[in-house]
Structure 1
Amino acid sequence: MQGHLNRILSEALSIEEKMRAYMIKLRYLQSEEKYDEVIKTGIRVLAKLGMGNIPRSPSWIRVICEIMKTRKILKTRTTESLKVLPVLENERQVFAIGVLDILCTSSYYISPKLDLFFVMKSVQMSLKYGVCKYSPAQFVAYGMVCGVIFGETQQTNNFAQLALALSERFDAKETLPEIVFMVYGTRLHEWTHEMRSSAKPLLYGYQVGTQCGEVDFAMINLVACDLTLWLTGSRKLGSLLSDLEEHCNMLKRCGQRSTLSLTLPLLRTTRVLSEVSGYETPLSSEYVDEEEVCHCVSKVHAVLIDRYIKSFNLQLSYLFGDYIEANRLGNSSRDFGISILQDNRLAPRHIFFRGLTSLALASEGRRKQKHLRVARRMTRHLEKLTKEGCVDYVHMIQLLGAENAAVRHKNKAAVEQFKTAIQSAKRGGFIQDRALAHERAGMFHLNSDSDTFWA
């Protein structure tokens, strides 16, 4: 295919006649994880379209200026007025926004700064010239910026609803899977809804993607649905393990290496948890094998894959009592969810287990005050997310509070916090966290020689 594309693009044709070939080439390079090449090619194509002011590496000052410029334009617009923006008819401009859409996806993996720049440029074009089938995804991305950077969760929800409305207006099935993932597969949906409610839309995004040949986002939606079921405990581990094994085989057959590299840590973790019997602790080599997926990290410079591996291994290390290893993994991925990848839905759970690990080490007397400070920081971060509207993290805050009280020998407060954590996890349907809260409460009562072993 690459040879055919190169022959077409080498012909003395106008840019309009080469547009489809360029789009196919960019998507092909993206599926091959050649993100640097996608960005170089995309910027070169945009220059041919008259957009010669796109930098390969913009400064943060320029990115911030573009963000503020976009916010200033949108300040005078209502969501309803954005829903009825004129349709963009100019094919060159539609093509330019389509190229920017691909550049946004590719730059997400290697340069958050560049990703923000492309998002702002795309939104500005839609506001200036009109909307097209590629516009909804960029409005979702802008909504995520409102939530992550400015804490405007209501704006985040407004732009998510705008994107879904515009997608319905264009009835563009080929772009719908991307929009569904951006709305329901990230933390955007969680700011105003329960996480478990996103599983069905993600499955729909997968079905639409397979029907219209958008394999990339079809499989991303499917894996995001698997992660949702895992995080919420909505599916038994045995059944989920079978699904994940089947989905990994599908990803291999489809050549979706990038999505596969994000799915393997989830598969390995699920396998370890479902195959452990009694109190036997698996060897560390049975955790997620970094060797198996690290080639993807070096190839695409994707911090995300590295953080996924460390996050899942951190959770396994804590669950099997290896707190020193869990702490090492937490320290080497301390930026996950704090300063990078805040939109990733695994990030809050990573923060939660970092807090639990610090409290476990504090209870053993290992640099107690230092670990208590780390636990307080993790708790405050989850509290901030909850204040923004995320109801799924209440039980995590309460369990961290119970462990903190136990470390400080405030037994009465610990008992109450354990009870409320169990009740909150039950209400939210987080069956695995409810079990964890019961286990930690039981250990607390055993260690404190309590006669009321209610847990």
Structure 2
Amino acid sequence: GNDFARLALSLGDRFKATEAVPQVSLVIYACVKHWQHSVQESLEPLLIGYRTGMQVGEMEYGLACAFRYAMAAIQSGKPLAALEAEVTVYAQQMKSHKQEFVRYNMLPFLQFVQNMLGRSECPTQLTGAAMDEAAFLERCSEQDSPTIACYMYVNKMKLAYFYGDIQLAAEMARKSRIISATAPGEFEVYNHAFFDALIACEMAQGTKKRKWQTFAKRRLKSLKKAGRFAVENCEQKILLVEAELYALNKQKEKATKAFDNSISLAAKNGFISDEAMAHERAWLFFDRIGDQFKSSHHYLRAYNCYLEWGAEGKAEQLYQDQTKSGGRLVRNASAL
């Protein structure tokens, strides 16, 4: 795929085919490039595809590039407040240019951002300034609009995991597993495997431990398959799932090493959201085994990483959870 992508880009440059930039950018940077390169490298080309499309009158492809840019930017850990402002503009343009299909695809991602910012009364429900979940599902049912409904379930799955409603997360993960069929080229395919595996690890702490642990390993296998080529996008995710599996089986040394490596690789690769998640999971692990020094360190780092990402709603939830459990958090302790 990457060989053909390079050929398409070189032909476009050679023949100065400006009008083809939106279509070429959409295919290459939304569906091909990220399978071997960091998803962050797709951001600027997708923006160029969007801007060019708007300039030359290719609104459909230009705005489709804007939608894929929003998806990639969330995955890349772009600061959420700035991203929310950008994506709101794209949604308005989609509406004014009557590009309703792509707008409805994008709305769950915009509402996800707003929920992570803390701008929804119920953080696990996709209802707020961008959309109303119930009305959205009435218009975009699984039968009539499977891809759009799947995107809604994917974002609801992630919100449920971030905000600690694991039963809901498991239900949404099951409903959205068709993403590998509805959108097979997108990075949300291996991102779904990542969240699906983490959710299974959480479910394994309850009943049916063997069943959920086996399923987590299966989803980890899918993630590793993508990670053989999309190394920067997946390696810290793989290590975090492995850390959770080690923790589940009380393998303290292996879990500790995997958490540390996941955190360092997330920082190295520039994925602040993955870094925040790894610190949060490490905090919970060390808290369970009674290592208060490491627990406090990872808690504070998780809190500050979420703030750095702009996920103020999640950071506040973290703070409230710690307060309820009798812990203490020094806010803005970025030096730790």
- Structure 2 regions of 5+ residues with no counterpart? 299-336
* RMSD of equivalent CA atoms: 2.1
Take 1:254 and 1:299, find their aligned partners in 2: how far apart are those partners? 25
Contact preservation (8 Å) 1:261, 1:296: no
Contact preservation (8 Å) 2:111, 2:126: no
Q: Give the AA of the match of 2:197.
A: G
TM-score, normalised relative to structure 2: 0.82
Instruction: Describe the SS at the equivalent of 2:123.
Output: coil
Which residue number corresponds to residue 15 of structure 2?
170
Contact preservation (8 Å) 1:327, 1:357: yes
Counterparts of residues 43-442 of structure 1 (less than 5 Å): 156-186=1-31, 188-233=32-77, 235-275=78-118, 282=123, 284=125, 286=127, 289-294=132-137, 297-298=140-141, 301-337=144-180, 339-363=181-205, 365-442=206-283
Instruction: Describe the SS at the equivalent of 1:193.
Output: coil
Contact preservation (8 Å) 2:263, 2:279: yes
Contact preservation (8 Å) 1:206, 1:222: yes
Give 1:350 shift: 1.4
Q: Work out which structure has the larger RCO, using CA pairs closer than 8 Å and 6 or more positions apart in sequence.
A: 2
Going from structure 1 to structure 2, the CA distance change for 1:160 and 1:172 (only over 3 Å counts) comes to: same
- Structure 1 regions of 5+ residues with no counterpart? 1-155
Give 1:303 shift: 2.0
Take 1:299 and 1:174, find their aligned partners in 2: how far apart are those partners? 34
TM-superposition CA deviations, 1:179-200 (whole Å, max 9, x none): 11100122x1012221101111
Contact preservation (8 Å) 1:190, 1:390: no
Contact preservation (8 Å) 2:26, 2:64: yes
Count of paired positions: 294
TM-superposition CA deviations, 1:101-159 (whole Å, max 9, x none): xxxxxxxxxxxxxxxxxxxxxxxxxxxxxxxxxxxxxxxxxxxxxxxxxxxxxxx1111
Q: Which structure has the bigger radius of gyration?
A: 1
TM-superposition CA deviations, 1:392-416 (whole Å, max 9, x none): 1101100000011111111111110
Contact preservation (8 Å) 2:124, 2:159: no
Going from structure 1 to structure 2, the CA distance change for 1:242 and 1:325 (only over 3 Å counts) comes to: same
TM-superposition CA deviations, 1:349-397 (whole Å, max 9, x none): 111111111101112x221111111110111001011113443110110
Contact preservation (8 Å) 2:125, 2:133: no
Instruction: Describe the SS at the equivalent of 2:179.
Output: coil
Take 1:410 and 1:239, find their aligned partners in 2: how far apart are those partners? 41
Going from structure 1 to structure 2, the CA distance change for 1:173 and 1:299 (only over 3 Å counts) comes to: farther
Which residue number corresponds to residue 302 of structure 2?
none
